[in-house]
Structure 1
Amino acid sequence: MEPEEHGGRPDGQVFGGRPTVLGHRGLGRGPGENTRETLRQAVAVGLRWVETDVRRTADDELVVGHFPTWQDGSFVAHLSLDQARELGACTLAEYVGDLPAGIGVNLDVKSCLEDALRPPEATTAGLLAPVAEDLASRRPVLATSFDPAALLGLRAAAPGLFLGLLTWVSFPLRKAVPAAVHLGVDVLAAHWTSFGPNEVDHAPVHAAPKESIAVAHEAGLEVLVWCPGVERARELLQAGADAVVVDDVPRVLPSLRGLAD
């Protein structure tokens, strides 16, 4: 029987039908995050996918970095690449150039305030589109963003690219799942606190994680959970989540052996 499809893509295609662990910012959040050294360490401990953050400089170069500023407070989008390099910047091309064949990369597209002043093709997502499309011809690639417009721009410019909607801490799944489906993306990337009662969403009743994930699957989405601890990651994988993005990879990964790789 042919697999069910959503947006022309078979279910399970992004992560290969196997529960997957992704290293947050390479080896995990903290010292050395989003650096080439910790990326190499992440691959060495056995990860087959890593997650990293992508930003643009003032002169339209793509660099790796989570925050909109460097440690000295300078905004990435206000600096040239040469200036950013003086503060330790690594380009996306340099970063992914260290990845062995077959390792997947989740590109978290970080729109900046100044993207509002640019046409779509000159925004962070617009600059990333041809780069991500080329990278996807050589390895598994998923582009995710909290910015739905970035995802729409990527879909238009790179229609074959796998895309995922990131939703913020405790964002209700009853809204996130239909939003991702009707946005036309392949993956819902929700924070682990969205899968049950929390301090932000005061609805009196939440669907069980297994039920929410089943609805997402039926609608054609894969489900990625970002930054759960070990026990919560195990519970959500057992409930059917397709992937988890984790911090402290050396500690968490061995604890999930048998459930995900």
Structure 2
Amino acid sequence: MDGVWYRFFKYALFRPGVRLLMHPELVDERNIPATGPAVLASNHLDAGDTFTLPALMRRRLIWPAKKELFEGKGLRMRIVARFLRAVGMVPLDRSGGRASVDAMGPVEAELAAGNLIGIFPEGTRTPDGRLYRGHTGVARLALENGVPVVPVGMVNTRLRRGPLGLPTMKGARIVIGAPLDYTPWRGQADSVRVLRWVTDDVMAHIQQLSGQEYVNVYASRVKYGNLKGKDLTGHLRARADEGLEAPPTDAELAARDAGSAERSGAGESHD
């Protein structure tokens, strides 16, 4: 039933509205796998990002929505919750820590069913148009579920007031990058180093598509935290993965361990 409502809202409302009012260009949709699960990781410029891409692409895309939208009280929030459930959206706890990790269950169930999940690694909309440090949830999803990450670059997708006060965009483009395969590191899903490297590698590919300047701090610190209103010059990086080296793969670690065991065994035999 979720798929029925999703198709209804997509083809009856969102796709015609997006094409008529916003005129975005979808570039290289062929990079989205035709079948099977994947995570689409995108920068986040404005609210329109959440419906513009799903409206234009062929396959169904599920954006996890913050769990508060499913729990709100009052008529308006109950309508929002009913709509999100009707189109198959899943709740996501964004409070951080163990709660956020445990809340990945519904998202992982969608991946296990062969669906596409969309995620904004920055965790919130950019405060100033620049690209900010990614949270490691995208890496955890990729590694624990063995699925590719498809980087997405939103360009000029900020909403503007158009004729009659209707929302529009100017020169909007959504660029889809080639899928990224992190399965060689799948056995290291609990490694902080690997999670951070995968995340920064994803952000570097997003940056390449979006052309944004990169700031190596979380956007939430700039919007609400201790960096609000502060000079961020010292946090600028040419690339999101600047100065980082790829960690050894599972196979390289296994070979290293086997070599160490062999040398240790040879030493014991010699003694």
Length-normalised TM-score, structure 2: 0.31
Q: Which has the larger radius of gyration?
A: 2
Q: Which has the higher strand share?
A: 1
- Normalized per residue, the structure richer in helix is 2
